[in-house]
Each structure stands twice: as structure tokens, then as C-alpha cells.
Amino acid sequence: MPPNESDRDVDHSNKYNFPKVELHCHLDGCYRFSTIAELAKKRGIYLQKDESELKKFITAQTRCNSLPHYLEKIYNATRTYAGDEDGIARITREAIEDKAADGVVYLELRYAPHLFANCDVEPMVHAEERGRLRPKDVMDIVNKTVKECENEYGIRVTTILCALTPFEWGEETAKLCQEYESHGVVGIDIAGPEGSEDFPLHCQRGFEFCRINGIHRTAHAGEVGPAGHVKKAIEQLHAERIGHGYRMLEDDACYGIVKQHRTHVEVCPMSSHFTTGAPEDWSKHPARRFHEDNINFSLSSDDPGVHLASLIGDYDIATTMWGFTTQDLFKLNLNAARSCFLNEVERKQLVSDLKREYANYNDIVVEYDSITSS
Ligand SMILES: [Zn+2]
């Protein structure tokens, strides 16, 4: 089905008209409000809510009280399609269609297959009743849809599997990463309501399994949890990238480790505002310091469905609130390309494709090779 602008809730007009790379985006956070409203009706849930109540229930129009409050919105949305093959395929298809409309040429889309399953999963979190959809079946649906969409929308997409706290799916998730490596799974992530407690053991064992087997690793850390989580993610989980990591600035030693390793930081401007991960005052956002210090970071949308926005909104924040130039945005996209989880041949090709495209912007001088060496 060709893209249909009228189906979309959000303006995806490609205002920043150059190819983009997005590394941190949750499949279950990419929904269109209109689709969730339709799926809720089909499932016969949330029927007592009118449109504006439903909107408040699954999207954040103002800064949330906390990260769990923000995540609750995603969980409310996931309940409308968990265990539903067609629903999962539709959410996947629309997420990719919207990313292609934003000008994303390479996307790493992450999700926890366990969250959408209704069979062979303990606990069953979101599905309404037990059925026959195992985590592996969920992956088959997502992988098949990704393949179809890559061809249709001219975008390259790989997936990252999330081990989700507080559930004990870490080791199983790691093994699924290995089993599905040839089906576009490129890495593992740890996600969920980060608190002050340490990373759980099952997650550490899962990450160790991935390290030994050459599977890439990223971790949500230091978003609302302490800087120590970033240090542990790098030193104990051997994370190559950090999701958010804003609070690393509270600890010079930790910030030093990120600099020393050239660890890539996946900054998500809008979500950091809504989750309270970053200060309310945009001028105090850690991304400004990352930029000044030439940290290896890039911009992602995280959960654009929650914000009723798109990646374009995140770019708008970077340009209007932080004064980032187009040249800066090129640099961040090249950082992302160099730190992505594609194999070396594809990664190098992506970097060189972006350089070639960006070179067409004659009035902009990009110091490509001074950016990162990784
Ligand atoms: Zn995230």
C-alpha cells in the first residue's frame, strides 16, 4: 500500500531534506494515535473513553511526572494489539512508513518480542488472553513486515531486541538475538523503568552471552537512573552505545569513561523532556554539553507516538533550542552511521553514501574526518 498522508496523525513533511540515520526507536512507541484508537475499538477495550480521554491515556501532551508514568502510556497502547498478528504487522508497517517519510534511510528499530506474545511467555503482560503467539512468532511477523517495507519504502531497517526490566527475559532475549541474526537482528538492549537499583543478573548474563557471540549491545542507562549505571553499562554489560545517558554529566569519572571509549550516546530530545530525564529548561539539556565536548552522539525520536510527533520534531528542538546548524546535524548523522550495528561492509557503505549526499549541499562545509574515527 503506498504512503497515504491522510492516514497519518503527524506532519512528516521532510523539512530537513537530507538522509538520516536513527538508532534509538521503539517499535511499541511509534504508533499513530488513530491506529491505536481503531485497534482499541476492535478489541473492545477503552470504549468508555472519548477521543480526548484516549489521547491523554496513550500520549503525553505535557511533561510526565516520572519515567514510569511515561511508559504507562506505551503499555496502554500496546494492550490494543499484543497477541494480534495483524495488529503487530500494522504497527510495524506504519512505524517504518513514517520513518521513511521523515527521510530516515537507515533505522534500528527495537522491541521486546515477549511484550507482544500471548504464548510461551511469563508473565503475559499485555495480551488480553492466552493464544498461540510465542515471542518467536512475534519476531517472524515483525521480520517479514520489515522486509516488505524495506522494498516498498526504500529504507534499510534492522532490529534490536530489548530485555525489559523487571522481567527475567535477559538470557532468552540474548539467545533470540543469536538465532535471528540472519533475519536482521543486530543487537540487544536493556530497557524499562530505570530506577536506582543495579542491572539485574539475568540481563548481565544475557549481555555477556552477546559479547562472547559477537552480538552488539546498547543499554538504556543514566536517563533517570544515576551516572553509575552508565559506568556499569560500559564496564559490566560491555555496552557499545548508551541510550540517553544524560546523568553521566553528574560524575566526571563516568563522563571521562564515555569520552575515553568514544561510546556512542543516543540522545532523544523530546522523550527526555516528557520522561523528565533532562531538565525542563531546554538550555540546560545535556546534549549542548555533549556537542561542545565533541561527544560521539546522535539524535533519535525514542517513542514519537507518545509525543504525537516525529523525528522532525527532535531536529526542530536541536536547531531552535540548541542552535544546531545543518552541518551539526550532518555530523550527528555520520556519528550514528559510524556507530550503527550493521556489519562492517554495510556500515562503511552507509557512511560513504551519507558523505556523498551531504557533499551536494555546496554551501555547507563538513569536516567529516575530524568527527569520529570509529
Ligand atoms: Zn528508549
Top CATH class of 5-370 equals alpha beta
With pLDDT > 70 as the criterion, what percentage of the chain qualifies?
92
The C-alpha atoms of residue 204 and residue 197 are separated, in whole angstroms, by 14
The yes-or-no verdict on residue 362 having pLDDT over 90 is: no
Rounded distance from Cα 190 to ligand 1 centre (Å): 9
Rounded distance from Cα 6 to ligand 1 centre (Å): 28
What's the whole-model pTM score? 0.93
Q: Where are the domains of the chain?
A: 5-370
The yes-or-no verdict on residue 25 having pLDDT over 50 is: yes
Active site amino acids: 223
The pLDDT confidence band at residue 11, using thresholds 50, 70 and 90, is low
The C-alpha atoms of residue 274 and residue 315 are separated, in whole angstroms, by 16
The pLDDT confidence band at residue 61, using thresholds 50, 70 and 90, is confident
Rounded distance from Cα 302 to ligand 1 centre (Å): 5
Rounded distance from Cα 221 to ligand 1 centre (Å): 10
Strands (E), the chain: 20-26, 104-111, 156-164, 185-191, 216-221, 241-244, 264-267, 297-299
Three-class secondary structure assignment of 296-338: CEEECCECHHHHCCCHHHHHHHHHHCCCCCHHHHHHHHHHHHH
- Do residues 221 and 244 touch, judged by C-beta distance below 8 A? yes
The C-alpha atoms of residue 1 and residue 197 are separated, in whole angstroms, by 46
Cell numbers of 55, please? 489521547
Rounded distance from Cα 361 to ligand 1 centre (Å): 32
Around ion ligand 1, which residues have CB less than 5 A away?
A: 302
**pLDDT per residue as tens digits for the range 199-241:** 777 789 999 999 999 999 999 999 888 999 999 999 999 999 9
